[in-house]
Amino acid sequence: MQSIKYSIQDIKERLRNSKAVTILTGAGISAESGVPIFRGKNGLWKNFRPEDLATPEAFKREPGLVWEWYDSRRQTLSRLKPNPGHFAIAEIEKRVKDFTLITQNVDGLHQLAGSKNIIELHGNIWRVRCLTCGKVAENRDVPIKILPFCECGGLLRPDVVWFGEMLSDDNLTRAFVASDNCDIMFVIGTSGVVHPAASLALRAKDEGASVVEINIENTPLTASADATFLGKAGEILPQLL
Ligand code: BV8
Ligand code: ZN
């Protein structure tokens, strides 16, 4: 496997000599597990785009419709498993002194694959949060009763970050620290359009890290990456071990 300037061997060498490694993943790392990506042909659900439903306004207006979308994603996810790309990332974490995984995904597949130090920038689809008392709890009901309510009687929402919502300060700070202090950052399976996640690779680069992109196509991040490996994450990542 060859990127323009570097071979997998070169990257393996860099990885071996790195003290601090940060990995940023997007929906593409879960594609080979069968999880639909957001911005592909099958990114629509009942002709709705994620940007139409993953918003506080949509939930306020039609909580039932938004919960139907999340319930259908949870039902699909409950039958899916991590793929070799997730497992390779969990293995890299074991071999590196200082490792951080930053994921935009809400599917929980990195945890299932054994990753430990994970920053879930956009939350987790298996957690719910009460709009009244704020209680956050894990909820694995498949299907989930629509509409779901808290013991306090408050309406439950998915504990994810919607468009137009702030990411948690704590997660964002941890993600900035992990981007600023790594020797190498891998950016895997993300279209690089959603901010502030998309800016993390530029931060890492500005702080002197090597940025290695793994994607099946070029993205807005390709121009600033030191190396881009075009191909499936589930096939490329195991070659780094
Ligand atoms: C915020 C959780 C401050 C919910 C998600 C105009 C310009 C710039 C920014 C904005 C703008 N207008 C608004 C904004 C801000 C907005 C934003 O970035 N919008 C974008 C769409 C332009 N961001 C926000 O609102 C964020 N908050 O900014 O707060 C603020 C506050 C108030 C007002 C303004 C700002 C919150 C963003 C979080 C949204 N929540 N998800 C849920 O999942 O239900 S985002 C959603 O997109 C997912 O989390 C997903 O992970 C994420 C990013 O998408 P990707 O992961 O990259 O997935 P995608 O399908 O796009 O790409 C998949 C890639 O994989 C592709 O490149 C494909 O080639 C590749 N691939 C496929 N198969 C493989 C593969 N690669 C390797 N191997 C394979 N096998
Ligand atoms: Zn409550």
Q: By alpha-carbon position, which residue is closest to atom 29 of ligand 1? A: 166
- For residue 92, the model assigns a pLDDT of 97
Q: Which residues pair with 130 in a beta bridge?
A: 156
- For residue 47, the model assigns a pLDDT of 84
Please name the amino acid found at residue 165. E
Domains, the chain, in order of start with CATH, read 8-35+82-122+166-240 (3.40.50.1220), 38-79+125-160 (3.30.1600.10)
- For residue 45, the model assigns a pLDDT of 81
Per the CB < 8 A criterion, the answer to whether 27 and 37 are in contact is yes
Place of tokens 């891998």: 186
Which of 145, 149, 170, 123 lies closest to 71 in space, CA to CA? 145
- For residue 43, the model assigns a pLDDT of 76
Which stretches of the chain drop beneath a pLDDT of 70? 1-4
Q: Write the DSSP assignment of the chain as a string of letters.
A: -B-SS-BHHHHHHHHHT-SEEEEEE-THHHHTTTPPPSSSGGG-BTTB-HHHHSSHHHHHH-HHHHHHHHHHHHHHHHT----HHHHHHHHHHHH-SEEEEEE---S-HHHHTT--SEEETTEEEEEEEETTT--EEE---SSPPSS-B-TTSPBEEEEEPPTTSPPPHHHHHHHHHHHHT-SEEEEES--S-STTGGGHHHHHHHTT-EEEEEESS--TTGGG-SEEEES-HHHHGGGG-
pLDDT digits (tens, 9 = 90+) for 50-76: 999 999 999 999 999 999 999 999 999
At 73, phi and psi to the nearest 5?
Answer: -65, -40
Mutate to test the pocket of ligand 1, among 195, 212, 236 (most ligand atoms within 8 A of CB): 195
Which residues, judged by CB distance below 6 Å to any ligand atom, belong to the binding site of ligand 1? 26-28, 31-32, 37-40, 50-51, 54, 104-106, 122, 160-167, 189-191, 193-196, 214-217, 219, 232-233
Concerning whether 195 is annotated as a catalytic residue, the answer is no
- 47's tokens: 């002709």
pTM score: 0.96
Which of 2, 54, 1, 63 lies closest to 27 in space, CA to CA? 54
- For residue 1, the model assigns a pLDDT of 62
